[in-house]
Amino acid sequence: MPAEDELDPVIHAPVRLRVLVTLATLRDGDDLSFTRLQELLGLTPGNLITHLRKLEDAGYVTTAKEGSGVTSRTSVSISQQGRKALDNYTAILRQLLDSASANGTSPH
Amino acid sequence: MEQDQDMSAQEAASVMQDARARARKELVISAPVVYAAWGLVWLIGYGGMWLSVREQHPYRAPSGVSMAALFVLAAFAVAAVIAVVHRRTEGIGGQSARDRRFILATWATGYLILLVVQATISHSVGARAYAFLDFAGPLLLAGLVYVLAFVLGRHRSAFALGSWLIIVGASCAWLAPATILATCALAGGGAFLLIAVIETRLAAHAG
C-alpha cells in the first residue's frame, strides 16, 4: 500500500495505467473481453497478461473465463478497489502537477 | 515487451488523457449519432407525410410515396444505429449488455402490441383515432423506451427526451390527423435533433 501522498507504484506504469483507465470507462457491472482490451491497447497477449496479473494481485481488476475451447471468453473488469485506487492516483497526480506548476518546476 | 517505466507526472497525465479519449471513442455509444438518426426520420419522414395530407379535405391518408420514404429512412436509421452500437459495444459484457437486450425486447414487444391493436380496431374506429394510434403510437412508445433507458442508468438526456415525447404523443389525442403528423415531425423530430446538439456540446465541454 503506497503512502497517502505517493503515486501507487502498481498503477504508475504506462501499460497498467492505460488498462485501468480503459476499464474505468465502463459502467459498474460491465466487463471487457480480453481480446478487445488487447486490440484497444495494441499489446501482445503475453504482455497484457503480465500486467493484468499485477493488477489482479493488487485487487484492482478481476478476470473471469467462461466456456471452454474455441468458444471460451476471458473477460476483465475493474474492481471497486481498483476504481478507488485510480481516483486516488488521479488526485495525487493532480496535486503534483499543481504544485509543480506553482513552483515553476518539472514534476517527477 | 513493455516494462514498467519511470514516468514523470506529466507523462502519466498524458497517458491517462490519451487512454481516456481512446476508450471513450471506442467503447462509449455516441448518443448524438443515435438521436440525430431518429430525429431525421421523424422530421423528414413525418414531415413528408404531413406535406402529402395537408391539402386533403377530408383527410384520407398519406401518399404511398411519403410512406415509402419514411420506411426507407427508418431502415437507414436502424442500420446506422445497429452499426454504431455493435462497433462500440463489441467485447463489452455484463450489466450493459443485459440492459441493451431488455430495452430492445421492450421496444420490439411494444411495437408488436401496437401493430396488433391497430389491426384489431382498424375497422371499428374513425380516421382520427386510427391516425393517433398509427402516427403518435410509435412516438409514445419511443418516449416510454427512453424513460426506461434512463431508469436503467443510461444516457442522462434520455429522461428529458422520453418525457417530452410522451407529452407530445399524448397531446396528439386531441389533434386532427394532419396536425398529428406535423406535431410529431416538428416537436418529436425537433426534440431528437435538439438533444443531439446538446449532447454534442456537453461532450465537447467535458473534453
Tell me, what's the pLDDT at A2?
61
DSSP structural state of residue B135: I
Instruction: Give the CATH number, domain containing residue A24.
Output: 1.10.10.10
For chain A, how many structural domains are there in total? Answer: 1
Distance CA A81, CA A19 (A): 15
- Interface pTM (ipTM) of the complex? 0.88
Would B9 be classed as within a structural domain? no
Distance CA A14, CA B14 (A): 10
Model-level pTM greater than 0.80? yes
pLDDT digits (tens, 9 = 90+) for A85-103: 999 999 999 999 988 878 7
Place B204 in a pLDDT band, splitting at 50, 70 and 90: confident
Would A55 be classed as within a structural domain? yes
pLDDT digits (tens, 9 = 90+) for A54-79: 999 999 999 999 887 777 889 999 99
In the predicted model, what is the mean pLDDT of residues A78-83?
Answer: 97
For chain B, how many structural domains are there in total? Answer: 1
Would A100 be classed as within a structural domain? no
Tell me, what's the pLDDT at B2?
47
* A106: pLDDT strictly greater than 80: no
Choosing among A10, A25, A48, A98, which should be mutated to test the B contact, i.e. which has the most B CBs within 10 A?
A: A25
For A38-93, what is the HEC assignment?
Answer: HHHHCCCHHHHHHHHHHHHHCCCEEEEEECCHHHCEEEEEECHHHHHHHHHHHHHH
State the residue range of the domain holding B124.
29-206
pLDDT digits (tens, 9 = 90+) for A5-63: 788 999 999 999 999 999 999 999 899 999 999 999 999 999 999 999 999 999 999 99
Would A5 be classed as within a structural domain? no
**Are A25 and B94 an interchain contact pair (Cβ–Cβ within 8 Å)?**
no
Would B6 be classed as within a structural domain? no
Would A70 be classed as within a structural domain? yes
- Which cell numbers in the block locate residue B133? 394510434
Distance CA B204, CA A63 (A): 33
Beta-bridge partners for B93: A31
From chain A, the residues in CB contact with B24 under 8 A are 25
Q: Which of B157, B199, B191 is nearest to B171 (CA)?
A: B191
